[in-house]
Amino acid sequence: MRLILLIDMDYFFVACEELRHPEIKGKPVIVGFDPKEGRGRGVVSTCNYEARKFGIHSAMPISIAYRIKPDAIFLPIDYAYYEKVSKSVVELAKRYSQKCEQVSIDEVFLDVSEKIKDYDGASEYAKEIKRAISDELHLPCSIGVSVNKLLAKMACEAAKPNGIKLVKQEGAKAFLRDIPIGKLYGVGQKTEERLKAMGYKTIGDVADSNSSRLSQVFKNFGNEIYNSANGIDDSEIIENWEVKSIGRERTFEEDTAEKTQIEEKIKEVSKEVFEELKAQNFYFKTVTVKIRYSDFTEHLKSKSLLHPSNDLQTIIDTAIKLFEQSAEEGRKVRKIGVRTSTLSERKGQKKIFNS
């Protein structure tokens, strides 16, 4: 039996801010774009549970968050600092298993099958890790414990906040059954909409369906969605990511705010990055876009995929989406960069079944 743990930090960006500004603890705190007294564009990155009580959440327009709670504490995003804290979490996690995979800035999978032999042992181990993260790093987290990555992730979501949840193999289907389909690991918004249009509301609805109906609509991914809904996932923990990255950037002949022109440039640069990846036989998991504005201020935004990819269209789509999410409309851009990182030479990994 495999035993997999997923550690996901609670309200991560805000927890990092609380670490260096203890005085904000206990108050509603939001990290995101400048609300500019309700006129700000852009979204909430995350907020603590005190702010969530008011209905504020990640990806909500910052102007709406401001309308709901103008007296909340609004802080700008300090990605470099969160990356540093994130590294310390991964370092700590590695002490508990070398078979360790960081999947996003605040999530780490651990395969503990070699050390731990049963569910009780795994739950105890999770408690020990959680205690170490709290004692040494002074950060809250939740941990999911199960037999594969998918179930560990789903268990962790159910454990939040500040909890540990074990999902045994035999209890997996019952555990998943009533969860809304949009919450299934790997199902993005588009897939959720299409599944709902097909009449599936819960994970159980999909689990009780059949894979050929899903394959008709989702092609190869249909079967994966079906397996996921049934708690089946044999994807491995991927260790030893290369620290290197492959990126390219390009300066416009004349600074521009034209969306189509910028998108064209993103496509060009992505193509170069793709060629380099292909030449070196790499898969990537993270895409980062760098925007340098006319006044030389820079903005970086990253997205990590659930699974490694070597696909040009994925680079382009992700980069354009990141640009749309972060660029300030009308502001002239001087230079645009696209970078792929968390590279691996491995092949045959499970693919993500959404954009």
Active site residues: 107
Nearest to 149 by CA among 242, 239, 232, 222: 232
- Is 106 a residue that touches Mg ion (CB under 5 A)? yes
Q: In this structure, which amino acid lies at residue 344?
A: S
Burial class (CB in 10 A: 0-12, 13-18, 19+), 160: middle
Q: What would the x/- binding string for ligand TTP be over residues 144 to 163, using CB under 6 A? A: ----------------xx--
Integer Cα distance of 304 and 295 in angstroms: 29
Instruction: For residue 141, list its beta bridge partners.
Output: 9
The listed partner (ligand TTP, Mg ion, none) that binds 45, CB under 5 to 8 Å by sort, is: ligand TTP
Is residue 76 involved in binding ligand TTP (CB under 6 A)?
A: no
Does residue number 355 form part of the binding site for ligand TTP (CB under 6 A)? no
Q: How many CB atoms within 10 Å of residue 91? A: 11
**13 belongs to the binding site for ligand TTP (CB under 6 A):** yes
When binding is defined by CB under 6 A, the residue of 12, 74, 218, 284 that contacts ligand TTP is 12
Nearest to 222 by CA among 210, 233, 204: 210
Query: Which does residue 200 touch among Mg ion, ligand TTP, none (CB within 5 to 8 A, set by kind)?
Result: none
Q: Under the criterion CB under 6 A, does residue 286 sit at the interface with ligand TTP?
A: no
In the list 3, 4, 5, 8, the residue contacting Mg ion (rule: CB under 5 A) is 8
Chain-centre distance for alpha carbon 245: 18
- Chain centroid, CA 352 distance in Å: 12
Choice from 6, 10, 51, 305 touching ligand TTP (CB under 6 A)? 10
Closest CA to 323 of 282, 265, 243, 284: 265
Please pick, from the candidates 17, 18, 106, 111, the single residue that binds ligand TTP as defined by CB under 6 A.
106
Tokens of 266: 């993103």
CB-nearer residue toward ligand TTP: 10 or 50: 10
| 354 counts as binding ligand TTP under rule CB under 6 A | no
Contact letters (x/-) for ligand TTP, 29-68, by CB under 6 A?
A: ----------------xx-----------xx---------
Which spans in the chain are helix H? 12-20, 49-52, 62-68, 79-96, 119-137, 149-159, 172-177, 189-197, 203-207, 211-218, 220-229, 259-280, 312-326
Stretches 4-12, 77-85, 311-319, 346-354: which one binds Mg ion (CB under 5 A)? 4-12
- Tokens 């802080």 correspond to 75
Contact residues toward ligand TTP (CB under 6 A) are 8-13, 45-46, 58-59, 105-106, 160-161
